[in-house]
Amino acid sequence: MATKKTAKKATKPARKNRVNQFDPRKYYDHLVVDEDRKVVAHIRVKPSGLLWSPTKGKGWLGVSMEELAAFMKEKGRKQSK
């Protein structure tokens, strides 16, 4: 006599309040413009660091948040909001 195997259904993890929502962004892009309002560079802010690329650049130059914080403490000037 053949034995029957019962297959368990794979259950999906429950998602709370995830209907019609967007995932948060992984980075934010900003443009750097000169006094003539021409774009001269792009800055990308990520949780892990800061990236910079000149206009029409082929790549990005990056610095970690720790290196940026150390630079700003050493070279930064007090600014008003």
Distance of CA 26 to the CA centre of its chain: 3
* Whole-number pLDDT of residue 60: 94
Torsion angle of alpha carbons 68, 70, 73, 77, nearest 10°?
-30
- Percent of all residues in the chain with a pLDDT value above 70, rounded to a whole number: 77
Q: Full-prediction pTM beyond 0.85?
A: no
Side-chain half-sphere of 8: how many Cα atoms within 13 Å?
3
Distance of CA 43 to the CA centre of its chain: 11
For residue 32, pLDDT over 90 is answered with yes
Residue 5 to residue 15: CA distance in whole angstroms: 30
For residue 5, pLDDT over 70 is answered with no
More confident residue, 19 or 48: 48
Per-chain mean pLDDT for the chain: 85
